[in-house]
Structure 1
Amino acid sequence: MIESDRPWDLIAETALSVASLTDYIRFLIEQDEELQRVWVTGEVSSANHHRSGLFFTLQDPDSSAAIKCVVWNSQVTKLAQIPIRGEQLIILGSIRIYRERGEYQLSVWQALPAGVGLQALRHQELRKRLEAEGLFDSQRKRSLPPHPQTIAVVTSPTAAAWGDIQKTLKQRYPGLHILFSPATVQGEQAPESIVNAIRRVEVDGRAEVLLLARGGGAVEELACFNDERVVRAVACCSIPVITGIGHQRDESLVDLVADAALHTPTAAAERVVPALAELYNQHQQRVVALQQSVRFSLETAQKQLQEKRNRLRRLRLDRQVQQEIQELAWKRQQLVRATTTQLQQATQHVEMLRQKLATLDPKAVLQRGYAVVRQQNGAISRRLDATRIARSAAELAVGDELLVQLGQGEVKVRVREVKD
């Protein structure tokens, strides 16, 4: 009996406890470098929030395989995508053993959207980066020319958008010169094709504005307008760019960087050029506004003139003028009186001086019976300035000739006798 029980004793001695086995498995798994940092993709089948963290199950959509995952509270805010039931995710984490239940689970560090969600995440990251560079700032946007004579169109030559643009431009602005730069606007080759088309327009140098257009389509078909190469080509374009991309929900990155963005090619064509009918209506409106302005100015001037007239009537300007005339007449009389007085005084003074002159006049003395005797001697007597007035008998000698000036006429005499 004892010999038969020995194999069981040996088994009992060599058997591992549950804790030992669990610790051994834990050691093997958690020390595996491949499992310390592993990416796993799957669909969230359940999710529960707990006070210690977020617990969810990631299931393989093609089979029933599943793995339990946990995101501790300290890591939840760092996730790019919060796990929600039904979403496809790419999970980064490490395998950990839950010792109490003998289960393994994935301790999650990061969760990224998979499929379409991953594209959305990349789109969001690119948008943030371009926005940080200032490519979407409103200060960068240029105004479109009001009356362009030459515009460039970048779109597919086989797309309906190209026909809609031509029709709209011809109807609204006949005579416009359109430069067509064809490009592929869908597929993997589209970004490079669009960039080359924009570059051709810039090298040509004639266009005043560039219209980048595409008709409606699915999100995947419009992916080229979110390509960084296309966005930077539009941002660096030397002429204003207007986009007309057929989507109604979300703006593409090209729309954000363009100088103007419309939701359809037709709307973009209507925006880039004015309609002649609208220009004519605007002209008529300006004419009417100008007429009204002139009429208003005339009426205002007439009112002001009438107010001044009324004000002049109230001021009795005619009475003021009459008073001024009377004052001027009184001042005139004063001036005449003063002038007359001064004239009389001057006349009297002149008369007094005349009388004095008359009294001192030698001719007047001669008229009273006096005579002037001038002495003449030989040759000297022939010169008027050589004669001199005889003032003393002592100056004369017998035989001298004298010129006697009387009140009327002159006589010549000869001295016969000198008496002293």
Structure 2
Amino acid sequence: MTSDFVNSLIPDTALSVAGLTDYIRLLLEQDNQLRQVWVTGEVSSANHHRSGLFFTLQDPDGTAGIKCVAWNSQLAKLAQIPIPGEQLIILGSLRVYPQRGEYQLSVWQALPAGAGLQALRYQQLKNRLLSEGLFDSERKRSLPSHPQTIAVITSPTAAAWGDIQRTLKQRYPGLQVLFSPATVQGEQAPESIVKAIERVERDGRAEVLILSRGGGAVEELACFNDERVVRSLANCSIPVITGIGHQRDESLADLVADVCVHTPTAAAELVVPALAELYTQHRQRVEALQEAVLYSTQAAEHKLRVLQNRLQHLRLDRQVQQEKQRLAWKRQQLVQVTKRRSQQASQHLEMLRQKLVTLDPKAVLQRGYAVVIQENGAIARTAADLAVGDELLIQLGQGEVKVKVEEVKD
């Protein structure tokens, strides 16, 4: 298709981007109603810059918002400084910025109109969850020191996902990362985040979960204050770390998470240690162990030298010799005492043997005596014990004789 043909298709009334933007600017800025307009709404975010205060004014239901600026020259004249969560009545004029194709309200005056509905709803929900104990420090779990598998929930098209991947690869190569994509802005975001958390729990491999999103205006981060998301994080079975936004107040998701940081990169840095740091710590431990071993060795050697010196001074060989002599003398004493007692025992035994021989009845019989034994076995000691006709047994030195009593004489 030739350029001449293309040019022939473009109507003469076609405008350039600058021409269209300038036309819109003239329509808005020259409109009598828009040159001085009163607008009421809730401040959802506010940021101070060198040139002035930039903030967003939003309808309480969040269906529409407009960017506003109060220049430094006008700030001191405002009856109420715009603060997030407050309801204001703004007087200003509409201005168009061609370079960005945007329009914003240049603020002349700001009047207080009470607390904003969104801020009230946020505070009520926060108080209710707080009373249930969802933000208690006792519920916080510590992150695993060396996880092998982590899960990440964020938008697949967001810069946050790229930042996390890059950081994890640099710090801990080989880590298994499970990506559970979710919408992190808009009306569908809360349900999408809840489903992403459920996917991670069903999988069961992750040891820690990162919920993340890059920077954005407060109104763009409303999903992280949604009750469904907060309760899903509170009921999650694995530790959760949030890395949401940059310069902002904590969201309810941050309050319920086990750990919260302000950027996706910070979350990735916190969830895993850097291999370089681990290697440095390992080298430090090795050096400390070597120093401890060296110290123990030197201490043992010193103690050994001290003991050697003590042994030299004690002259154990002389003590051993003296102890041997003492034992030999004791042995000699013991042998002498034993011999003496044995001789005494032998002499006493011989004396007893001689007494037994002397007292032995058989020895008496050998000298010519006899023993008269009656029929009942008793020994007859007197004649009165006998009667005529008794049969007696006479026991002699050698042999026995039976006799019969014929006469008894006193």
When the two structures are superposed, what TM-score results if normalisation uses the length of structure 1? Answer: 0.55
Distance in 2 of aligned mates of 1:336 and 1:159: 104
1:328 is paired with a residue whose SS is helix
What amino acid does structure 2 have at the position aligned with 1:124?
A: Q
Q: Give the drift of 1:185.
A: 0.9
Distance in 2 of aligned mates of 1:250 and 1:277: 33
What amino acid does structure 2 have at the position aligned with 1:194?
A: I
Residue 248 to residue 302, structure 1, CA distance change in 2 (3 Å): farther
Distance in 2 of aligned mates of 1:135 and 1:356: 109
- Aligned residue in 2 for 1:143: 142
Residue 155 to residue 312, structure 1, CA distance change in 2 (3 Å): same
Contact 1:88-1:113 within 8 A present in 2 as well: no
- Aligned residue in 2 for 1:122: 121
Distance in 2 of aligned mates of 1:172 and 1:134: 35
- Aligned residue in 2 for 1:261: 260
- Aligned residue in 2 for 1:181: 180
Q: What stretches of structure 1 of length at least 5 have no aligned partner?
A: 1-40, 48-57, 64-85, 91-111, 360-386, 391-420
Residue 224 to residue 354, structure 1, CA distance change in 2 (3 Å): closer
Q: Give the drift of 1:191.
A: 1.6
Distance in 1 of aligned mates of 2:201 and 2:162: 23
Distance in 1 of aligned mates of 2:298 and 2:118: 68
Q: Give the drift of 1:238.
A: 1.3
Alignment of 1:16-415 (within 5 A): 61=91, 88-90=111-113, 112-114=114-116, 118-309=117-308, 321=320, 324-345=323-344
Q: Which stretch shifts more, 238-247 or 200-209?
A: 200-209
What amino acid does structure 2 have at the position aligned with 1:137?
A: D
- Aligned residue in 2 for 1:368: none
Distance in 2 of aligned mates of 1:208 and 1:135: 21
Q: What stretches of structure 2 of length at least 5 have no aligned partner?
A: 1-39, 42-76, 80-87, 94-108, 359-397, 402-410
Give per-residue Cα distances to partners, 1:64-123, cap 9 Å, x unaligned. Answer: xxxxxxxxxxxxxxxxxxxxxx65444xxxxxxxxxxxxxxxxxxxxx324xxx433433
Residue 292 to residue 225, structure 1, CA distance change in 2 (3 Å): same
Distance in 2 of aligned mates of 1:123 and 1:136: 15
Root mean square deviation, CA, Å: 4.5
Distance in 2 of aligned mates of 1:207 and 1:146: 14
Q: Give the drift of 1:132.
A: 2.2
Q: Give the drift of 1:155.
A: 0.5
When the two structures are superposed, what TM-score results if normalisation uses the length of structure 2? Answer: 0.56
Residue 350 to residue 196, structure 1, CA distance change in 2 (3 Å): closer
Q: Give the drift of 1:282.
A: 2.4
Distance in 2 of aligned mates of 1:203 and 1:311: 72
Q: Give the drift of 1:289.
A: 2.1
Q: Give the drift of 1:336.
A: 2.5
Residue 185 to residue 389, structure 1, CA distance change in 2 (3 Å): closer
Contact 2:182-2:196 within 8 A present in 1 as well: yes
Q: Give the drift of 1:349.
A: 6.4
Residue 159 to residue 59, structure 1, CA distance change in 2 (3 Å): closer
Q: Give the drift of 1:239.
A: 1.1
What amino acid does structure 2 have at the position aligned with 1:337?
A: Q
Residue 284 to residue 223, structure 1, CA distance change in 2 (3 Å): same
Residue 128 to residue 389, structure 1, CA distance change in 2 (3 Å): closer
Contact 1:235-1:258 within 8 A present in 2 as well: yes
Residue 213 to residue 330, structure 1, CA distance change in 2 (3 Å): same
Residue 344 to residue 158, structure 1, CA distance change in 2 (3 Å): same
| Max Rg structure | 1
Give per-residue Cα distances to partners, 1:337-396, cap 9 Å, x unaligned. Answer: 21332344456668889999999xxxxxxxxxxxxxxxxxxxxxxxxxxx9799xxxxxx
What amino acid does structure 2 have at the position aligned with 1:113?
A: A
Residue 356 to residue 221, structure 1, CA distance change in 2 (3 Å): closer
Distance in 2 of aligned mates of 1:60 and 1:323: 112
Distance in 1 of aligned mates of 2:197 and 2:355: 118
**Paired residue total:** 287
Contact 2:160-2:213 within 8 A present in 1 as well: yes
- Aligned residue in 2 for 1:398: none
